[in-house]
Every structure is written in structure tokens, then in C-alpha cells.
């Protein structure tokens, strides 16, 4: 098991050192080194989490949606999309341990550095190769660019990880990715979800009712996977706020959002996931709008008819995720503007989104956030 853990400080190795690890396609063990990552060479960053596992957002194999990754690290750094057609998804970047070194590592002897530079010159990979590898164009597509990035290639540098493999949970704890308290709550939720048949639309109704009743007794969060009631085929309500980066918004209550969803939990085609529920009622700052993104299945750019909004520090924490608990990928949640409302710019925003999401009472979660020790460092 690696010595690099969540919370450690590391330094990104030099360009020459990294090029020495890459093949002609700009990859190490199938993982692309993306052009924007060169910007961080020689700079220091804090380890957000160990990326020893991740989720499958391409095939969606629900029997085993987890993926195992060797020597993977997540820093507090996200993709800017500039090399990928302006993709605005802001995915968390994967790093291989070979591209990093602990900041307390002693300086290497001059001859070792010289060997690295020599190997870089003979590795066959250049910065131009890395840039060219961002495209995987299909001649049959009529000239439309098809991109290849870490998100589109995730199946190439990971292997299936069954949810029942206990070793992943041991590493979740040993790496500092999750606390014992977080793991206990995750396993408790998962056990209740399956043991009581809460997942079943019909048979699970009593379990969902009892969950909500019990949680309400002590101000806990409600069942996170209720469904909307708008019939399939009927139009769902929309709103246009034209929210811009830097604005403060309040996420509407869970009940208000459910009223905008159809029976598949979608609003105008966009799903509302249970991982978003804990943020309901909180005040957050707009990070950006998502109008353009890469379809991870195809590599082609997609443009949204109705833009989505992403908020600072509001991302999936895999606390209710089926068969992929504690996934460290931290994908930003996408929000319809009808699920949000503007608030005064002097309103107290949730600086620590993780603490906010853990708040047990939605109506005063922001007031409590400053009094709790954050469980994780949010990635912006």
C-alpha cells in the first residue's frame, strides 16, 4: 500500500521526468497525461484522496459499478477543459504516483536527475505527442472532433472492482479517504436499503416511511431516493435565472425539488440524484455554468439545450451510491435553475460544503457549519 495518503503534500515532478514515464500516446498504464497537467509541474499540492478506486460512468454496470485503479491519486486540481473543446464538467484529475513525490523527499543526487533527463530524451514521448493524444477522431464522423481524456478512457486504466471486495474498504480507511464514522453510516444505510427492500417501488414503501419518521424524531436527513410524481410524458416545470459565477444561491428544499421531477426523477431530461439531497436548503456560490461537455461514452462534444449550474464544493460524496460507497471521484452535481433561488450577496455561504451536507437539519445547516469539524476537505 502506498505511503501517500489523503492530506499529504506532494510535488508534481518535472516535465522531463513525467515524459519519461509516458508511451508514445502520452499514457502510463493506459492513463492519459493531459496537456493542462504540465502547468502543475514543479508545483506543490495537497492530496485530496487516494484514487485507489473510482466509478464507471460509461458502461453503468450496476452489478459491479466500481473500478480499481493502481497507484492513483487525486489532488485538489480539476480539469479546465481547454484542450477538450471547452468542456465545462470540471472533472477531478487523476494522477499516477510516478508523477508525484512527497515534499519532504530529499533532493535527489545530480546524477539521478541526469538519468531522468536522459530517459526522457529516449522515451519517445514529447509534449506534442501528449497534445495530439487528446484527439481520437473518427473519419466517419464528418470531421467532428472526438476527444480522448481521462474520463473517456477510464475503463482503459482501471479494472472491475466488486462491491463485496472488503480490501477496498480497508484502504478507504487506511488511506485517510474515509473516517470510521463515515464508513459506519455508509454501511448502515446500505444494509437498511437492501435488508428492508427500501429500493422496491412497492414493497419498500413501509421502509421508506419508517426511515423518514425515525429521522424526523431527531432532525436527521430524510430518505434520499424518493421519486417525483409528474407522469412520464408530461412537461416538467422550468425556470431561467441566468445565474453567473460568483452569485450566491440557495438550493430549494427536497420537497420543492421533488415537485419538479417526473417519476424517473428527471427534470427536462436531467436526473436528480440521492447524492444531491443532503445539500438541499444550503446556500452556496455558483462555480460555473455547464453548456458544453464531453460525452464520456463517445468522446464527442455535447451542447445542452438548457444549461446546468455547478456550485462551489457541491459534489457527489458516494454516501448513498449503490455498490460504490466512498468513491473518491467527487463529480460535481449538476443543478437545474428551477432547483435554485438567488439570495443576497451578503448571505452566509457554506464554506465547507462537506460539513453542510452532513448537517442534520436543513433549515439551520449553514448556521451550524462553522461549529463542526469538517470531515473532508472540499474540492473546488
How far is residue 281's CA from residue 258's CA, in Å, rounded to a whole number? Answer: 13
The model's pTM is 0.87
Nearest in space to 171 (alpha carbons), one of 8, 50, 329: 50
Q: What residue has cell string 438541499?
A: 280
CB 98 within 8 A of CB 33: no
Q: Residue-wise pLDDT tens for the chain (380 aa)?
A: 568 999 999 999 999 999 999 999 999 999 999 999 999 999 999 999 999 999 999 987 666 689 999 999 999 999 999 999 999 999 999 999 999 999 976 455 544 555 455 444 556 899 999 999 999 988 777 778 999 999 999 999 999 999 999 999 999 999 999 999 999 999 999 999 999 999 999 999 999 999 999 999 999 999 999 999 999 889 999 999 999 999 999 999 999 999 999 999 999 999 999 999 999 999 999 999 999 999 999 999 999 999 999 999 999 999 998 889 999 999 999 999 999 999 987 777 775 444 443 433 333 333 333 333 333 333 43
How far is residue 237's CA from residue 337's CA, in Å, rounded to a whole number? Answer: 11
How far is residue 11's CA from residue 17's CA, in Å, rounded to a whole number? Answer: 12
Helix axes 180-195, 167-174, angle to 10 degrees: 150
Residue ranges per structural domain of the chain: 9-161, 178-369
Q: Alpha-carbon torsion 169, 171, 177, 181, what sign?
A: positive
Three-state secondary structure call for residue 133: coil
What secondary structure does DSSP assign to 34-80, as a single string?
Answer: -GGGGGGTT-EEEEEEE-SEEE-SSS--TTS-EEE-TTEEEEEEE--
All cell numbers assigned to 249: 444561491
Buried b (16+ CB within 10 A) or exposed e, 155-181: eebbeebebeeeebbebbeebbbbeee
Amino acid at each position: 500500500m502506498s505511503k501517500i495518503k489523503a492530506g499529504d503534500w506532494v510535488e508534481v515532478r518535472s516535465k522531463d521526468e513525467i515524459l519519461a514515464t509516458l508511451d508514445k500516446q502520452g499514457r502510463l498504464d493506459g492513463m492519459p497525461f493531459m496537456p493542462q497537467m504540465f502547468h502543475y509541474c514543479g508545483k506543490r499540492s495537497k492530496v485530496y484522496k487516494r484514487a485507489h478506486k473510482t466509478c464507471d460512468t460509461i458502461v453503468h454496470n450496476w452489478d459491479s459499478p466500481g473500478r480499481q485503479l493502481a497507484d492513483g491519486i487525486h489532488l485538489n486540481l480539476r480539469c479546465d477543459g481547454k484542450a477538450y473543446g471547452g468542456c465545462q464538467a470540471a472533472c477531478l484529475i487523476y494522477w499516477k504516483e510516478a508523477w508525484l513525490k512527497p515534499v519532504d523527499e530529499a533532493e535527489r543526487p545530480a546524477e539521478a536527475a541526469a538519468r531522468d533527463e536522459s530517459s526522457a530524451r529516449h522515451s519517445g514521448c514529447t509534449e506534442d505527442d501528449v497534445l495530439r493524444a487528446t484527439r481520437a477522431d473518427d473519419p466517419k464522423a464528418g470531421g467532428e472532433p472526438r476527444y480522448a481524456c481521462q474520463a473517456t478512457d477510464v475503463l482503459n486504466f482501471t479494472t472491475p472492482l466488486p462491491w463485496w471486495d472488503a480490501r477496498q474498504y480497508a484502504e478507504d480507511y487506511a488511506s485517510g479517504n474515509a473516517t470510521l464514522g463515515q464508513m459506519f453510516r455508509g454501511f448502515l444505510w446500505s444494509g437498511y436499503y437492501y435488508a428492508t427492500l427500501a429500493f422496491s417501488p412497492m414493497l419498500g414503501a413501509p421502509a421508506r416511511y419508517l426511515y423518514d419518521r425515525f429521522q424526523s424524531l431527531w432532525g436527521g436527513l430524510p430518505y434520499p431516493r424518493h421519486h417525483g410524481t409528474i407522469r412520464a410524458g408530461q412537461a416538467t416545470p422550468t425556470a431561467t435565472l441566468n445565474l453567473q459565477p460568483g452569485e450566491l444561491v440557495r438550493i430549494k428544499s427536497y420537497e420543492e425539488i421533488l415537485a419538479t421531477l417526473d417519476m424517473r426523477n428527471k427534470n427536462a431530461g436531467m436526473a436528480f440524484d440521492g447524492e444531491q439531497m443532503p445539500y438541499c436548503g444550503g446556500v452556496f456560490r455558483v462555480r460555473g455554468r455547464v453548456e458544453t461537455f464531453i460525452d464520456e461514452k463517445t468522446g464527442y462534444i455535447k451542447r445542452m439545450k438548457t444549461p446546468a449550474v455547478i456550485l462551489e464544493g457541491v459534489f457527489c460524496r458516494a454516501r448513498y451510491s449503490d455498490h460504490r460507497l466512498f468513491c473518491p471521484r467527487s463529480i460535481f452535481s449538476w443543478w437545474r435553475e428551477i432547483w435554485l433561488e438567488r439570495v443576497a450577496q451578503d448571505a452566509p455561504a457554506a464554506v465547507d460544503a462537506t460539513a453542510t451536507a452532513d448537517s442534520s437539519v436543513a433549515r439551520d445547516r449553514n448556521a451550524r457549519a462553522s461549529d463542526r469539524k469538517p470531515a473532508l476537505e472540499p474540492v473546488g
